[in-house]
A and B are shown apart, each in its own frame.
Chain A
Amino acid sequence: MFKFGAFSGLTALLFREGKIWWGLRYLVFTSLFTPLLYFFLLGTGMREMMGEMLFDGSPVDDYILFLTPGIIGMGIVSIAISSGTTSFNERQWGTFERVLTLPVSRSSYVLAKILVAMILSIGQLLFILLLGIPLVEGGLYCDNIFLVLLATLLGVICFCSFITLLALSIKSSTEFYGLTGLMLLPIILCSPAFYSLEAMPFWLRAIAYINPMTYMVDVLRAGFMGSWDQQIPWGIEVLILCVFTILFLAISIISLRRVRV
């Protein structure tokens, strides 16, 4: 059989990831369901009021349309946290050490985790697009689906790597769950997920600029609406997102090499 050294055992590990996630299905369902609740409740609740909000220099037409990329971004962060949680569990279970004794490569292990998170994120994206049909007149439209996919995939890798980094460096489970729980809100709220950057006070905007979520949501929004939040072109924002992604991925791969079991 043809064998890729660097990705040996990938299909078996993907099957294994599938089984682990299937065992976690209720938890995963909750973390996918929460963004949808925001979509419905926050979206419909704020729809009228948010018509006043300036976005890209003019008031937003439909807040639901504006909110969609934010919800997708929030979903991606939740999926990344769940994925990091499986890595953390595996260190505690000892299955991580077990994997190191098996004829599979470490890169396959990481890739399997990222691929499953990607599949879930794309599934969620499609689901939200379907949900948008009854919610928005004429259905949710998408200006440039490739841009949406690009932002989704980069975002998944970026946040999965970041959370994996935490999962590899933290030993105690209360610290891990505490920290990831604590981080979720600032990542989402210090970004243009729910409101435009123009509507933010200066200090919040400053934080938003160092938050990769900002760039992920902006590129998603550029993909959906054809317009985005900032003075910089979306191409530059894609680049910035790439830089965050490569940085986190590289650090997490290095720490995966060094991690103590």
Chain B
Amino acid sequence: MLAIECAGLTKHFGDLTAVDHVSFEVEKGERFGLLGPNGAGKTTTIRMLTTVIPPDEGTAKVLGFDVRRKPDKVREKIGVVLQGLALEFFSTVYDTLDIYGRIYKMNAENRKKRIEYLLSEFELEDKRNERIDCLSGGLQRRVQVATAFMQPPEILFLDEPTIGLDPQSRRKIWQFIEEFSKGGYTVILSTHYMDEADYLCSRIGIIDYGKISALDTPEGLKSTLGGGDIITFGVEGNVDLLRSTISKLDYVEEIMAGDELAARVENADEVLFKLSEEVVKAGAKIKNISVRKPSLEDTFIKLTGRRIE
């Protein structure tokens, strides 16, 4: 059975189509990412899959249960980390975890064990009796993620789980998601961080203006660019003119979209010097040069025509 199966999923808000006929499938045990800029429709998609709002068109099944017809069944099996900090701010860390244990009908002994385990995993032991509104944002986020793990869910949804977090909290959360998914559980996450999607996800759907424009493994997405190296020049001069000049060179495979002057070539070692000379000949002053492998971000820019903010 598939973990997620959605076909033609659509949501309108007035004239705006926030999610536009989105279809994808996720196998059990996968770590699936929705990667897209602000306003792309990630949260709306996750809200429909987690039964918070009903889809206007299309169908979505979570573990075989239709989100519209069997929302109760879906809710029993999922854990959700919302985009915002959704926490009972006036209660303590321990009590908050206890609340979620009770909601998932764990008995007192199991609750206690699980809470101790999560407090140590998320390094929150010394904060157990602090009120949540007195914690820093990073710690609050860790508590929120911990609540979703009180009862290990069959599918865990995380909507931009590390947005605006300090590196330490970010790493903790990544680690925990990895550990969790090793147990054969499914993870669906949305993010606008390239490195997060690249690192955490086994498959990524690139979403923009409510549509999924590409869906593949991180490697697959990167290789749609055709491999090779990307050479970027920091220059003084007319960048548009330079672009059209070097695009005529036969060893330049592709000019990258974006503000900078960047070109993809087969092998940077062989052509770097030649190419630099061409740039200088065209009348520009080179301030710096960098060489790198194509990244997910390059694919993203190619597909959507813009850089993610």
Residues of A with Cβ closer than 8 Å to B?
A: 1, 5, 8-9, 11-13, 15-16, 19-20, 22-24, 89, 93-95, 97-98, 100-105, 260-261
Contact = CB atoms under 8 A, between A and B. Distances in A.
Interface of B: 47, 50-53, 72, 75-76, 78, 80, 82, 84-91, 95-96, 98-99, 102-105, 131
A86 B75 CA distance: 24
Contact of B51 (A22, A24, A101, A260): A101
A20 B72 CA distance: 25
Contacts of B102: 11-12, 15-16
Contacts of A102: 75, 103
A182 to B, nearest CB: 25
Contacts, number: 79
B82 A103 contact: no
Contact of B80 (A1, A20, A101): A101
A103 B72 contact: yes
Contacts of A8: 72
B211 to A, nearest CB: 23
A105 B76 CA distance: 11
Nearest to A11: B102
Contacts of B82: 94, 97-98, 101
23 contacts: A11-B102, A12-B103, A15-B98, A16-B102, A19-B99, A20-B88, A23-B89, A23-B90, A89-B89, A93-B85, A93-B88, A93-B89, A94-B82, A94-B85, A97-B82, A101-B75, A101-B78, A101-B80, A102-B75, A103-B72, A105-B72, A260-B53, A261-B53
Given A100-B51, A261-B52, A95 B75 contact: no
A16 B84 CA distance: 20
Nearest to B50: A101
Given A16-B88, A95-B88, A104 B103 contact: yes
Given A19-B95, A101-B50, 15 more contacts: A5-B72, A16-B103, A19-B90, A23-B91, A93-B85, A93-B86, A93-B88, A97-B47, A97-B82, A97-B84, A98-B80, A98-B86, A100-B52, A101-B51, A261-B53
A101 B52 contact: yes
Contacts of B131: 23
Contacts of A94: 82, 84-87
B160 to A, nearest CB: 13
B21 to A, nearest CB: 22
A23 B96 CA distance: 12
Contacts of A260: 53
B91 A20 contact: yes
A75 to B, nearest CB: 22
A12 B80 CA distance: 18
A97 B50 CA distance: 10
